């Protein structure tokens, strides 16, 4: 039985108990999007994974500061350091101010998070908004001998760092292989780097480069990795609890973050590194070059040749949650449609529970079920197991409704509370209403139910008060043997 939260730590390749540095506070840094395009399927899994973590930690009573950055500069076009800044490239194409593009896609990203019912981040720092902090960190790295300027750019000296530190430890790469074939002397005489493994902290900009800032080394822009080191240190301190991101960021991005932060502050920035796996499409990685991406908004309209029909945000979310975050997840219409059915069954069951009639004794063990659900969450946020447990409850509920199984009043109450807790509060699923006006009816039905409960408990003052207030609001209640009906004026 896993009685407390355990998480897989990429750094140690091990599942280990989660122990905050300064409980009840928990600091989390998650690598957010590069805002140079519409959010696509690949953008969905990260926010959902870390939202479960966020929600579960809040449930456990922690005070969470979750920082998720917006990369609006500094991400290179390809993974070599010689490319253009991606956003600037797009901006030139569209003849727009790069920050206008960044704003547009930041808005799209926010809209997606809202649709997926992801809790907002505590702080959402932008890379372009932390040039000062990045420059200061680069200067410190130069002073400490871990970085060098070269032709207006600044590079991190991987060989120097490797003399005293274990470069490659996080990503599990062999330091010697990373450094192999490179030397401090540049044979060609053309490359600015001392070593091909070195990575850019600051890149010189030419005049055509439309996002650039002054620096001690001339005009330029920050390298891709430094923003996360600078911003996480600013908002969470030089060492914090959890650093999250996609597995595709493990190398070189996170490995570089570890190197930069360790060289600058003397410590690995995060005690625990969490990586979610990728979504594939028909077994292939999504990539612009493969032209197999699906925009998130396409799911909601069905407007994409890869999609058989439209899928709702919660349908997409439930599909994601059905796989463990560390496993790959392959997109298919069949899987999405199966998820849709499953989600509907869960939501229907929540209503079935309301209708269960209590028995003197319980024929199945709700406490055990609750424990097993928490056990699934504690076991590295194992949402597929949790969902399997929820479906066990679905089956038992239906049997109880059919009087094959039985539950005591107390256990029904418990089941109600925990079923809601897992489905809505921790998995962050929602009922999706076709129209807003349904909410009005649902609130009203809840009020009628509370009045019935009050009457059953002989709390007639409350029951009358609910009736009177509804009358004031233009609602007439009519009680009969079948229950209470209403008319709204």
Q: Which residues form the interface with a copy of itself (CB under 8 A)? A: 65, 97, 99-100, 103-104, 107, 110, 114, 117, 120-126, 128-132, 136, 213-214, 235, 350, 413, 416-417, 420-421, 423-425, 430-431, 433, 435-437, 439-440, 442-444, 446-447, 450, 453, 461-462, 464-466, 468-474, 488-489
Q: Length of the chain in residues, anyone?
A: 489
Shortest Å, Cβ 474 to a copy of itself = 5
Shortest Å, Cβ 380 to a copy of itself = 25
List, in order, residues 6 or more apart from 371 with CB less than 8 Å away. 1
Q: What is the DSSP string of 222-233?
A: E-TTHHHHHHHH
Comparing CB distances to a copy of itself, the nearer of 333 and 457 is 457
Comparing CB distances to a copy of itself, the nearer of 328 and 468 is 468
User: Beta-strand (E) ranges in 1-108?
Assistant: 6-9, 14-17, 25-30, 63-68
3-class state of residue 235 by DSSP? helix
Comparing CB distances to a copy of itself, the nearer of 121 and 259 is 121
Closest CA to 279 of 109, 42, 116, 49: 42
Comparing CB distances to a copy of itself, the nearer of 306 and 450 is 450
Shortest Å, Cβ 29 to a copy of itself = 13
List, in order, residues 6 or more apart from 445 with CB less than 8 Å away. none
Comparing CB distances to a copy of itself, the nearer of 291 and 436 is 436
Shortest Å, Cβ 244 to a copy of itself = 18
Shortest Å, Cβ 248 to a copy of itself = 27
Shortest Å, Cβ 369 to a copy of itself = 17
Comparing CB distances to a copy of itself, the nearer of 279 and 429 is 429
Number of Cβ within 10 Å of residue 132's Cβ equals 11
Shortest Å, Cβ 290 to a copy of itself = 32
3-class state of residue 97 by DSSP? coil
List, in order, residues 6 or more apart from 378 with CB less than 8 Å away. 2, 3, 4, 5, 6
Comparing CB distances to a copy of itself, the nearer of 11 and 264 is 264
* Alpha carbon distance 465, 463 (integer Å): 5
Kind of pairing between the strands at 270-276 and 240-246: parallel
* Alpha carbon distance 460, 456 (integer Å): 9
């Amino acid at each position: 039985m896993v009685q407390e939260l355990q998480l897989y730590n990429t750094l140690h390749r091990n599942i280990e108990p989660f122990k905050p540095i300064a409980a009840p506070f928990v600091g989390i840094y998650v690598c957010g999007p590069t805002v140079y395009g519409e959010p696509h399927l690949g953008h969905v899994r990260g926010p959902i994974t870390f939202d479960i973590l966020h929600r579960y930690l809040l449930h456990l009573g922690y005070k969470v500061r979750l920082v998720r950055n917006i990369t609006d500069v500094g991400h290179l076009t390809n993974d070599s350091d010689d490319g253009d800044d991606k956003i600037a490239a797009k901006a030139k194409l569209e003849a727009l101010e790069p920050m206008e593009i960044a704003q547009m896609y930041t808005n799209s990203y926010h809209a997606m998070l809202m649709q997926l019912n992801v809790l907002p981040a505590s702080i959402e720092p932008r890379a372009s908004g932390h040039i000062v902090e990045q420059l200061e960190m680069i200067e410190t790295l130069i002073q400490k001998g871990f970085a060098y300027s070269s032709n207006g750019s600044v590079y991190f000296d991987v060989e120097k760092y490797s003399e005293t530190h274990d470069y490659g430890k996080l990503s599990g790469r062999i330091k010697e292989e990373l450094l192999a074939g490179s030397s401090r002397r540049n044979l060609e005489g053309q490359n600015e780097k001392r070593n091909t493994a070195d990575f850019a902290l600051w890149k010189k900009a030419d005049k055509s480069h439309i996002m650039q800032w002054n620096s001690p080394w001339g005009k330029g822009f920050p390298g891709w990795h430094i923003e996360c080191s600078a911003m996480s240190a600013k908002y969470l301190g030089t060492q914090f609890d959890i650093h999250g991101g996609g597995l595709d960021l493990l190398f070189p991005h996170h490995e570089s973050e570890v190197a930069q932060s360790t060289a600058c502050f003397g410590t690995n920035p995060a005690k625990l590194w969490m990586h979610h796996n990728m979504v594939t499409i028909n077994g292939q990685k999504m990539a612009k070059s493969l032209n197999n991406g699906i925009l998130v908004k396409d799911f909601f309209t069905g407007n994409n040749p890869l999609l058989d029909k439209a899928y709702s945000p919660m349908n997409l979310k439930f599909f994601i949650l059905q796989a463990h975050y560390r496993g790959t997840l392959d997109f298919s219409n069949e899987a999405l449609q199966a998820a849709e059915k499953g989600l509907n069954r869960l939501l229907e069951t929540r209503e079935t529970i309301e209708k269960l009639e209590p028995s003197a004794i319980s024929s199945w063990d709700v406490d055990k079920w609750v424990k097993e659900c928490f056990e699934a969450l504690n076991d590295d946020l194992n949402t597929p197991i949790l969902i399997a447990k929820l479906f066990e409850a679905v089956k038992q509920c239906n049997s109880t409704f059919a009087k094959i199984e039985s539950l005591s009043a107390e256990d029904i109450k418990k089941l109600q509370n925990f079923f809601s807790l897992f489905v809505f509060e921790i998995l962050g699923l929602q009922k999706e209403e076709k129209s807003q006006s349904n909410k009005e009816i649902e609130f009203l039905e809840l009020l009628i139910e509370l009045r019935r409960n009050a009457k059953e408990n002989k709390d007639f003052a409350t029951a009358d008060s609910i009736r009177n207030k509804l009358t004031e609001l233009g609602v007439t209640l009519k009680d009969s043997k079948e229950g209470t009906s209403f008319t709204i004026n």
